[in-house]
Amino acid sequence: MLDEIVPLMQKLIQNKCVNPPGNEMRSIKTIEQYLKSKGIDSEIFESTTERGNLLAEIKGTSHHPSLMFGPSHVDVVPVEEESSWSIPPFEGRVEDDFIWGRGSLDMLYIVACQAVVFSHLASNGFKPRGDLKLLIVADEEAAGTFGAKWMVDNYPDKVKVEYLISETGGEPVEANRVAFWYGEKGSNWTRLIFKGAESHGSAPLLSDNAAIKLAKAIERITDYQPPRDLTLVRNLIAPLSMGGLTKSLASSSITLPQVLKSLRKSNPGMAGFLHAISQMTWSPNVCEAGTKINVVPAKAQLDIDIRTLPGQNEEYVRTHLQHALGDLIDDVVIERVPEELGGAVSPGTMSDMDSPFVDIMRGVLRELRGEEFDLVPLFSPGATDARFFRQAFGTQAYGFAITDGRLDLSTLFKLFHGDDERVSLGTIELTANAYKMVAERFLS
């Protein structure tokens, strides 16, 4: 299958479906043409101009639970500085046994693997007991408004499934322990608008400068410590081989800060991950203020990426923002980031960590990598399209893939939305084989 996956994936990278604006129909048509070349029909659902989603299906022979490959997205995030890449980000070049390019890891290799595996199963006359669906979507890198969410809202009967495999998975947590993803934090992107008064920039002493209030707000938000909840941390570290003392320290809200401080040097990727799944996080990422250099701004705007744990709602977010801002609260308007920019609020969601389906994934991992390997349940700090299926249908949704171990956890985390994004040919081959085996074992 690798000989088909690689050129398909290269074409998807070269299509450059950067969101915004997306223009994902280029890659949707690419996948449609690939499937058609194998004699497989698919449906395209246009959600808006030049944007849409693709669905293909192998009908089941009985009432066995259904399985979906996807939702898997073809949109990618922008590249801020192409010159900082070792290889041009939209070339899709194969070098050093890696495919390089924006979106290669997030998540075009999974898209290509799932499309090719689906086509091979269909072409080989696979007769699943339950439906096997392939769903390729747009707009995951914003809010799913024109992608997975749009399909769930407009065609629920077509996309409803009991189980699905989407991004990501296979990350090496420690020796012989690799990740599968069973849940994700909620998203509550928030905009703060600070009020001031225009005046001349040459006399700033008594000015009411909205930009200064914004700067103070960033400091206060950064310094504020929301309450910690270590349930997800304990789920993660329980199957790991770390010593009992380390587990005890990481499982306590009192000693976790010391653990994180130590890990920042020895394992920064793990430090960032444990911090993210132990509390609500907020990252002030977009600032706007001022119209002219000699005019004190009367308005300043701050967009914050806020991620919440399951059970933390919008009221929880606003309560803690008010605590953090203190006396600045009288000069600020708190509102959602506009939905077209990804501001739709979504709660944290999760699937079962232990189930017969997880056992199948574990068995496939051991067959492909060795009996000494095991799966470790990870909870994603970021949101994926799986949340829409958990919310709408109670779908057991998992991020599952198998990496070849060439890149460690810290390196992999840096590549998501980062420079020199790439995925190894070994990982692609392992993942494709894994998807085929999971589908055959679950649906046969």
**Strand order from edge to edge, sheet including 94-95:** 94-95, 98-100, 422-424
- Eight-state DSSP code of residue 106: I
Query: Which of 347, 378, 404 delimits the end of a domain?
Result: 347
Please list the alpha-helical segments (H only) found in 224-312: 231-237, 244-250, 256-266, 268-277
Residues 153 and 8 both lie in one domain:
yes
Q: Which single residue is written with the structure tokens 């077509």?
A: 158
CB 180 within 8 A of CB 398: yes
Residues 212 and 235 both lie in one domain:
no
Q: Find the helix or strand (DSSP H, E) in which 434 lies.
A: helix 425-443
Give the pLDDT of residue 167.
93
pLDDT in tens, 400-444: 999 999 998 888 888 999 999 999 999 999 999 999 999 999 999
Residues 261 and 374 both lie in one domain:
no
- How many C-alpha atoms does 345 have within 13 Å on its Cβ side? 17
| Burial of residue 366 (number of CB atoms within 10 Å: 0-12, 13-18, 19+) | middle
- How many C-alpha atoms does 195 have within 13 Å on its Cβ side? 6
The two counts, helices (H) then strands (E), for the chain are 15, 20
pLDDT-derived band at 42 (thresholds 50, 70, 90) equals: very high
Q: What is the CATH number of the domain that holds 368?
A: 3.40.630.10
Structure tokens, 268: 């920064």
Residues 24 and 116 both lie in one domain:
yes
Give the pLDDT of residue 73.
98
Query: Which of 261, 279, 297 delimits the end of a domain?
Result: 279
pLDDT in tens, 285-323: 999 999 999 999 999 999 999 999 999 999 999 999 999
Q: What is the CATH number of the domain that holds 194?
A: 3.30.70.360
The torsion region of residue 342 among left (phi > 0), alpha (psi -120 to 50) and beta comes to left
Give the pLDDT of residue 386.
96
Structure tokens, 392: 């709408």
Contacts of 219 (CB under 8 A, 6+ apart): none
Residues 212 and 232 both lie in one domain:
no
Give the pLDDT of residue 410.
80
Residue 273, pLDDT > 90, answer no
Residues 160 and 29 both lie in one domain:
yes
User: Whole domain around residue 256: which residue ranges?
Assistant: 228-279
Give the C-alpha distances (Å, rounded to integers) separating 79 from 25, 47, 94, 335: 20, 25, 19, 28
Cβ neighbours of 83 (radius 10 Å) = 7
- Identify residue 9 by its one-letter amino acid code: M
Print burial letters for 377-387: b (CB count within 10 Å at least 16), e (below 16): bbbbbebbbbb
Q: Phi and psi for 438 in degrees, rounded to 5?
A: -60, -45
pLDDT-derived band at 343 (thresholds 50, 70, 90) equals: confident
CB 27 within 8 A of CB 74: yes
Query: Which of 279, 295, 316 delimits the end of a domain?
Result: 279
Give the pLDDT of residue 174.
85
pLDDT in tens, 157-197: 999 999 999 998 999 988 899 999 999 999 999 999 999 99
Residues 57 and 101 both lie in one domain:
yes
pLDDT in tens, 75-132: 999 999 999 999 999 999 999 999 999 999 999 999 999 999 999 999 999 999 999 9
pLDDT in tens, 317-340: 999 999 999 999 999 999 999 987
Give the pLDDT of residue 270.
78
Q: Which single residue is written with the structure tokens 């085929």?
A: 436
**Mean pLDDT lowest for which of 55-59, 63-67, 198-202, 261-265?**
261-265
Residues 259 and 328 both lie in one domain:
no
- Strands 396-399 and 163-166: what pairing? parallel
Peptide bond before 107: cis, by omega within 30 degrees of 0?
A: yes
Whose CA is closest to 312, among 302, 320, 323? Answer: 320
Structure tokens, 127: 């007769």
Residues 266 and 297 both lie in one domain:
no
Q: Provide the domain count of the chain.
A: 3
Mean pLDDT on 266-293: 91
Residues 232 and 222 both lie in one domain:
no
Mean pLDDT on 32-61: 98
Give the pLDDT of residue 246.
80
Residue 242, pLDDT > 80, answer no
Give the pLDDT of residue 244.
82
End-to-end CA distance of the chain: 21
Residues 272 and 387 both lie in one domain:
no
Residues 305 and 412 both lie in one domain:
no
Give the C-alpha distances (Å, rounded to integers) separating 376 from 176, 178, 179, 365, 382: 10, 6, 5, 12, 18
Dihedral of alpha carbons 221, 222, 228, 232, sign: positive
Structure tokens, 218: 């960033």
Predicted TM-score (pTM) of this structure: 0.88
pLDDT in tens, 123-159: 999 999 999 999 999 999 988 999 999 999 999 999 9
- Identify residue 30 by its one-letter amino acid code: T
